[in-house]
């Protein structure tokens, strides 16, 4: 029998940082929330002034069906919309393309044209809501469609607000919904930075996403390091284009994952703000608003389990709490049934109520940075930061995020982490309740949201009618202009907006640029 005390056992966070049995080292508390380096929050009063924006990520089937869900969510207290797009929309294919078969409307809403966008937001004034769109390779087209619709509604586009994900580097590293090679993809992103800073100043021009890096299998430290390294690459690309970091950096936002290790997640969020403040300062940012890391959080989709799915309600609650304790600016909570299907209306409602209970019943919003001063949390914040800097230094030595991705460094690191995590679950080192411990032979019957395969037929019919009624010559001229401008350094956004206003489709615009830039094969 071992004479080791229980406290002698080596325990680590999910990212491998050792957790000591007791922390009693004094920690400095000089940093103030709302001030550089923003470890304790980007606003002085944080949630005492107002809670985070409660978003629910939704989009499925047709624009008509998604519009119904948006109206329902708004009626239940959602403060901002978050749009999911189907795979054909994400990779630049119209619903009638051969590559779209079997995927139309399945993991998000199908958007082919301005007409679909009108239906998606029917009865919703774009000047009155904040909309987040999870779209990357075709982000510039969806933004153009949103701006065109806002103009059609009579909105002042300088007042519309929202976020477009638009983070292509993490697609090469972790997710795969890219179209074009890195250089033209980065050009599109900096075009958006430049255009929006002048024309749509309240729009967050990129949501630099750690979420999908984490979903691909990274740990918390890797998620933090790879996300901030990508952020540095976008900063440098914009600076090289001649943009002012004190202007464009104010409209950058981040998108992080929240997993079950509550304290490690809180430490990650606190460290992220501090690290980004130093990164932006080193690259020339002097305006505090350009040094702030503002972020949206989504609870961890990959943590949801198909066995005993209602356990996921507890997981989502813990993850949401970590995001709030970590100072998130907006939050999406997953439905408990999402390991099985897109969320039903019941699951989406429970997910939203989870946020509302935390905001209005838990008391965690009543003070700024509630865990500040905890010996453990302060130490863990420092250790997470130190480990993340080591990874960023390796990436910098390779020449930055693009080079690190091209050399498969990021992909290999994620793969190793994912494999180690899977092995830990399989051998029982990592306990997942209902999966490898506390299992049950009883089968739970969970209602599922079914998407009808006939959706594609309807979308094809809509496309046929659109092409029959539009001014074909004008549409062709718009596409030819985009083709010509793609070979110059001129900003493409005005020409893409003109094209969608003249009913050019998402697939037509994407294909036009495929003809100029080609496709990235990895």
pLDDT tens sequence across 141-160 = 999 999 999 999 999 999 99
pLDDT at 521: 86
- Give the β-pairing of 206-209 and 203-204: unpaired
Tell me the C-alpha distance between 192 and 149, whole Å: 17
Tell me the C-alpha distance between 260 and 266, whole Å: 11
Bridge partners (DSSP) of residue 164 are: 133
pLDDT at 63: 92
Closest among 74, 146, 65, 138 to 106, alpha carbons compared: 65
First and final CA of the chain: distance in angstroms?
A: 54
Are 105 and 60 a contacting pair, CB within 8 Å?
Answer: yes
Residues of the chain predicted below pLDDT 70: 1-8, 26-29
pLDDT at 522: 73
Tell me the C-alpha distance between 179 and 81, whole Å: 26
Tell me the C-alpha distance between 134 and 231, whole Å: 17
Burial 194-216 (b: 16+ CB within 10 A, else e): bbbbeebeebbbbbbbbbbbbbb
Helix residue ranges per DSSP H, 113-165: 114-120, 139-153
Burial 347-385 (b: 16+ CB within 10 A, else e): bbbbbbebbeebbeeeeebeebbbbbebebbbbbbebbb
Q: Which residue carries 């999908």 as its tokens?
A: 212
470-500 pLDDT, tens digit per residue, is 999 999 999 999 999 999 999 999 999 999 9
Structure tokens at 209: 């996403």
DSSP state of 244: -
Tell me the C-alpha distance between 432 and 438, whole Å: 9
pLDDT at 28: 66
16: left (phi over 0), alpha (psi -120 to 50) or beta: left
193-211 pLDDT, tens digit per residue, is 999 999 999 999 999 999 9
pLDDT at 469: 97
Tell me the C-alpha distance between 27 and 25, whole Å: 6
32: left (phi over 0), alpha (psi -120 to 50) or beta: beta
Helix residue ranges per DSSP H, 209-286: 211-215, 220-240, 245-248, 262-282
Angle CA(210)–CA(378)–CA(367) in degrees, nearest 5?
85
Are 163 and 207 a contacting pair, CB within 8 Å?
Answer: yes
């Amino acid at each position: 029998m071992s004479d080791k005390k229980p406290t002698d056992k080596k325990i680590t966070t999910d990212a491998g940082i050792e957790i000591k049995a007791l922390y009693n080292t004094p920690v400095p508390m000089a940093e103030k929330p709302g001030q550089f380096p923003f470890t304790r929050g980007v606003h002085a009063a944080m949630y005492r002034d107002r809670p985070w924006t409660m978003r629910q990520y939704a989009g499925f089937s047709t624009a008509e069906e998604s519009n119904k869900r948006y109206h329902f969510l708004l009626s239940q207290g959602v403060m901002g919309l978050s749009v999911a797009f189907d795979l054909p929309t994400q990779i630049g294919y119209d619903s009638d393309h051969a590559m779209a078969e079997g995927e139309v409307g399945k993991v998000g809403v199908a958007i082919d044209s301005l007409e679909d966008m009108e239906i998606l937001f029917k009865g919703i004034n774009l000047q009155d809501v904040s909309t987040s769109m999870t779209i990357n390779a075709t982000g510039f087209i969806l933004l153009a469609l949103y701006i065109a619709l806002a103009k059609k509604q009579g909105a002042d586009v300088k007042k519309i607000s929202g976020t477009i994900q638009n983070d292509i580097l993490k697609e090469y590293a972790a997710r795969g919904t890219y179209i074009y090679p890195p250089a033209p993809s980065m050009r599109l992103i900096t075009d958006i930075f430049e255009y929006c800073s002048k024309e749509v100043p309240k729009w967050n021009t990129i949501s630099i996403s750690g979420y999908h890096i984490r979903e691909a299998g990274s740990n918390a430290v890797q998620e933090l390091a790879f996300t901030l390294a990508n952020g540095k690459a976008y900063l440098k690309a914009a600076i090289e284009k001649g943009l002012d970091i004190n202007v464009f950096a104010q409209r950058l936002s981040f998108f992080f994952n929240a997993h079950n290790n509550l304290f490690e997640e809180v430490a990650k969020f606190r460290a992220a703000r501090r690290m980004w403040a130093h990164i932006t300062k080193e690259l020339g940012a002097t305006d505090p608003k350009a040094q702030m890391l503002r972020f949206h959080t989504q609870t961890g989709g990959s943590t949801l389990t198909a066995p005993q799915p209602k356990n996921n309600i507890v997981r989502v609650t813990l993850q949401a709490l970590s995001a709030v304790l970590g100072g998130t600016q907006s939050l999406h909570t997953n439905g408990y049934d999402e390991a099985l299907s897109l969320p039903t209306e019941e699951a989406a409602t429970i997910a939203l109520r989870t946020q509302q209970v935390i905001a209005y019943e838990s008391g965690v919003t009543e003070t700024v940075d509630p865990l500040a001063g905890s010996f453990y949390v302060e130490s863990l914040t420092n250790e997470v930061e130190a480990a993340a800097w080591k990874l960023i230094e390796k990436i910098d030595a390779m020449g930055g995020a693009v080079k690190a991705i091209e050399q498969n460094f990021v992909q290999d690191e994620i793969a190793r982490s994912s494999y180690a995590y899977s092995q830990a679950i399989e051998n029982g080192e990592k306990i997942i309740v209902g999966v490898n411990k506390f299992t049950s032979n009883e089968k739970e019957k969970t209602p599922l949201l079914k998407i009808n395969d006939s959706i594609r037929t309807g979308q094809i019919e809509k496309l046929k009618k659109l092409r029959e009624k539009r001014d074909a010559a004008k549409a062709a001229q718009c596409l030819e202009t985009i083709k010509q401008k793609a070979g110059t350094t001129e900003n493409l956004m005005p020409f893409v907006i003109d094209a969608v206003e003249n009913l050019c489709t998402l697939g037509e615009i994407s294909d036009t640029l495929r003809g100029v830039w080609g496709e990235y094969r990895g």
